[in-house]
Amino acid sequence: MPPGIRLAAAWSWRLLAVAGALAVLIFIVIQLRFIVIPLLVAVLVSALLVPLVGFLVRHRWPRALAVGLALVGTFAVIGGLITLAVTQIASGTVGLNDRLGASYANLKAVLLASPLQLTEPELNAFLGQVWDAIQADSQVFVSGALSVGSSLGHLVTGALLALFSLLFILIDGKGIWAWIVRLFPRRARAAIDGAGVAGWTTLGNFAKVQILVASIDAIGIGVGAALLGVPLAVPIGVLVFLGSFIPIVGAVATGAVAVVIALIFNDWVVALLMLGVVLLVQQIEGHVLQPLIMGTAVKVHPLGVVLVVAAGALLAGIAGALFAVPIAAVLNVMISYINSGAWRSEQVDSAPVFVSTLWQTVPQRPGFRRTEYRLEKSAAHD
């Protein structure tokens, strides 16, 4: 066989083996999605709260009180945002039917006077076709309504699982990680622990930077809506903030909602201006925030961010789009760390977290000094 064919065959079966392993892993994750997604949510939130808990503990707060304060503060912020949005929506939808009727009449008048040369019978026929299509697809909405009970049960179960996972990570995250490290062979523990520390740092940077980017998007679009006189400016800002946690795609989708609200409650001129505000904010995010701030924090190219989000959405919907970038960033950093070989200089100490856990668990025996234990441990590694 020619050398090129042998080389191609060698690469092919290895790539097939890797693709098969990834396919099995993705299949298992999808089957266990009601466990995996809450766990990922807990890990992502803990990346923000662990530094806060550590700061309070270093200032002589009891760990239980520090964890409780972090959890209560998080729930207070989320509950405050939801309450503010619901209150604004309740007060802003007064007379909604009249506004919708007026907006429909204005839109109809604009279409009839446009260069499209539409007549009123043609427009009514088109609207009738749209209504018939909605009625034909109503079965989808009925089946969705019938599955609300099951979805609500999964939601409550997932929320409780995420809460308990977050609680245990905040209380004993180092112990959990040390147990995971001990599952690997002794010679691999330094590499695994070093890669985990690097991945955890990147995850924390991603979470903090994503909150900053989401806040800038929400303030920009929300303030723009308020200045243009678009109602529900505060709920729009909250929606944009939550949607921006899906990089690039989320802010675009929630910005489109702002444009639709402007078209319904105001007129097409305000809707066009609102569209300009959304595009301006997206340009700032795409050309300034993502390349400079997000790219530096997660070390993933903006094109890679878009492709990863698209792949995650294709495989797992909204959850896949939400976790695609942090997973890709963490894996990128961990693999780069292992390939760099920097962990070999730490192999004598067998990873800081693992060693610190061993000092707490190995009993002190008479005539057995800790320095002697470290020498014995190093000899075992060698």
- Does some domain include residue 341? yes
Please give the pLDDT value at position 374: 39
Q: Could you give the percent of the chain with pLDDT greater than 90?
A: 11
- Do both 166 and 216 map to the same domain? no
Please give the pLDDT value at position 238: 87
- Do both 291 and 178 map to the same domain? no
- Does some domain include residue 179? yes
- Do both 239 and 157 map to the same domain? no
Please give the pLDDT value at position 254: 81
d(C-alpha 210, C-alpha 203), whole Å: 10
- Does some domain include residue 7? no
- Do both 159 and 202 map to the same domain? no
- Does some domain include residue 328? yes
Q: Chain-wide mean pLDDT for the chain? A: 77
More confident residue, 228 or 368: 228
- Do both 221 and 321 map to the same domain? yes
Model pLDDT for residues 304-321, shown as the tens digit of each residue: 777 887 888 787 777 887
Q: Could you give the percent of the chain with pLDDT greater than 70?
A: 73
d(C-alpha 47, C-alpha 44), whole Å: 5
**Phi–psi pair at 2, nearest 5 degrees:** -65, 150
221 CB-side CA count, 13 A: 37
Identify the domain boundary among 162, 183, 204.
183
pTM over 0.85: no
Residue 142 has pLDDT above 50, yes or no: no
Give the range of the structural domain holding residue 90, as residue numbers without chain letter. Answer: 32-119+152-183
* Residue 277 neighbours by CB distance under 10 Å: 22
Residue pair 200/351 in contact (Cβ under 8 Å)? The answer is: no
- Does some domain include residue 141? no
- Do both 211 and 177 map to the same domain? no
- Does some domain include residue 206? yes
- Do both 172 and 229 map to the same domain? no
- Does some domain include residue 352? no
pLDDT band at 100 (very low <50, low <70, confident <90, very high): low
- Do both 193 and 342 map to the same domain? yes
The total of structural domains in the chain comes to 2
Please give the pLDDT value at position 151: 62
- Do both 226 and 284 map to the same domain? yes
Residue 325 has pLDDT above 60, yes or no: yes
More confident residue, 196 or 95: 196
Please give the pLDDT value at position 372: 36
Residue 71: both structure tokens together: 């959890």
User: Which of 57-61, 122-126, 220-224, 260-264 has the weakest average pLDDT?
Assistant: 122-126
Model pLDDT for residues 351-373, shown as the tens digit of each residue: 444 443 333 333 444 444 443 33
More confident residue, 363 or 77: 77
pLDDT band at 293 (very low <50, low <70, confident <90, very high): low
- Which range scores top for mean pLDDT: 68-77, 283-292, 310-319? 68-77
Name which of 298, 54, 47, 346 is nearest 194 in CA terms. Answer: 346
d(C-alpha 259, C-alpha 103), whole Å: 14
d(C-alpha 127, C-alpha 119), whole Å: 12
- Does some domain include residue 276? yes
Please give the pLDDT value at position 137: 52
More confident residue, 130 or 255: 255
- What end-to-end distance do the CA atoms of the chain give, in Å? 43
